């Protein structure tokens, strides 16, 4: 794997850093490595799902006290706290480059392409889709595609449910779905029978 480069070259503004930690950085899903002093992403508003960056100040499991970057101190249940394993964009870039190169047939080609991909990612010369940034180089069963367009549903209960089943499978792996609903009759349209 390529070593991380000078982090100033890939620096993010505050909102960009929060998005990186929240959406793209790998997390300790077991939460077993949480410790005082760790940088974490915490749900600050359960109703809206608002998340903020903070530092763990105290752990009295199952609750954790966190000082947010703005100085506010919150206490939350452990299930609302995520610890990013990757805290710098360079770590994500290394993972993504190596993950994309894994398809190559031998170690020499994997190293060559990993280096090529890593160069392309550095300084944000190229930014892959979000699903690629999240999934590449991990063992998670996620799709690399951001969006799918699936066939229009048949105008029947069975057709609608089949489309919903397909949408559920795609969304469960992090993909988004677009469909054309023009095959469904408009609201208040005459219905001859029910199938």
Can you give the pLDDT at residue 163? Answer: 95
Can you give the pLDDT at residue 141? Answer: 81
Contacts of 32 (CB under 8 A, 6+ apart): none
User: What H or E segment, with its residue span, contains residue 42?
Assistant: strand 39-45
Alpha helix stretches (DSSP H) within the chain:
14-19, 89-101, 107-121, 130-135, 157-172
Residue found by looking up tokens 């452990």 in the block: 78
- According to DSSP, residue 10 is labeled G
List domains and CATH numbers for the chain: 27-82 (2.30.30.140), 87-135 (no CATH), 145-195 (no CATH)
Can you give the pLDDT at residue 7? Answer: 57
Cis peptide before 181 (omega within 30 of 0): no
Can you give the pLDDT at residue 6? Answer: 53
Can you give the pLDDT at residue 2? Answer: 41
pLDDT 10s digits, 2-30: 444 455 778 899 999 999 999 999 999 99
Q: Which residues of the chain have pLDDT under 70?
A: 1-7, 194-195
């Amino acid at each position: 794997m390529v070593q991380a480069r000078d982090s100033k070259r890939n620096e993010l503004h505050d909102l960009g850093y929060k998005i990186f930690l929240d959406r793209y950085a790998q997390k300790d899903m077991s939460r077993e490595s949480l410790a005082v002093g760790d940088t974490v992403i915490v749900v600050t508003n359960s109703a809206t799902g608002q998340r903020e960056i903070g530092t763990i100040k105290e752990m009295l499991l199952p609750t954790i006290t966190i000082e947010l970057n703005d100085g506010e101190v919150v206490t939350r249940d452990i299930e609302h706290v995520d610890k990013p394993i990757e805290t710098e964009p360079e770590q994500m870039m290394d993972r993504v480059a190596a993950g994309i190169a894994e398809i190559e047939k031998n170690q020499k080609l994997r190293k060559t392409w990993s280096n090529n991909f890593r160069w392309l990612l550095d300084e944000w010369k190229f930014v892959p889709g979000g699903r690629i940034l999240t999934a590449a180089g991990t063992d998670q069963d996620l799709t690399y595609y951001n969006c799918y367009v699936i066939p229009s549903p048949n105008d029947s209960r069975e057709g609608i449910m089949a489309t919903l089943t397909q949408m559920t499978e795609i969304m469960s792996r992090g993909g988004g779905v677009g469909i054309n609903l023009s095959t469904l009759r408009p609201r208040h349209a005459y219905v001859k029978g029910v199938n």
